[in-house]
Amino acid sequence: MRENSEILIYNSTKDKISQKFLKENVKKILRYLKKQKKSFSLILVSSSAMKQKNHYWRKKNQTTTVLTFSEGDIFLCPEEIKKQAFKMKISPKKFYQLLLIHSILHLFGYTHDNKKDTKKMEYLEAKILNSLKN
């Protein structure tokens, strides 16, 4: 697979997550899936901005860790990611990896709308996550 994906990162937060870490993981996930996507935008936003987006797009008046849009925009909320990672007792980096995997799978048509699709998606997420190195 040729690697010609453009990965743009916009960080409107004070979080210092490594852009290199994010880009490398997106590339590794795409390689694992043997897929290409012309461009991705990873947009890091505050908890309040994520809450607004979640309310507007999903009619849920609460913040969330990630929102994925079919054109390749992936919104991530570092503050919420850290909170959820702590609750799950995993590192924030590992949780970022899981969320990137989850989002990219959505971009390629995977869903969790029913039990069968959920099991398939979770199985693939676990396999890809296991293949990634920190």
d(CA 26, CA 20): 10
Instruction: Read off the pLDDT band of 1 (50, 70, 90).
Output: very low
pLDDT tens profile 106-117: 999 898 889 999
Q: Where are the domains of the chain?
A: 6-131
Task: Pull the structure tokens for residue 11.
Answer: 């960080």
pLDDT tens profile 82-99: 999 999 999 999 999 999
Tell whether the torsion through CA atoms of 115, 116, 119 and 121 is positive or negative.
negative
**Superfamily of chain region 6-131:** Metalloproteases ("zincins"), catalytic domain (3.40.390.30)
| Cβ atoms within 10 Å, residue 59 | 7
| Cβ atoms within 10 Å, residue 57 | 11
- Tokens 């007792």, residue? 89
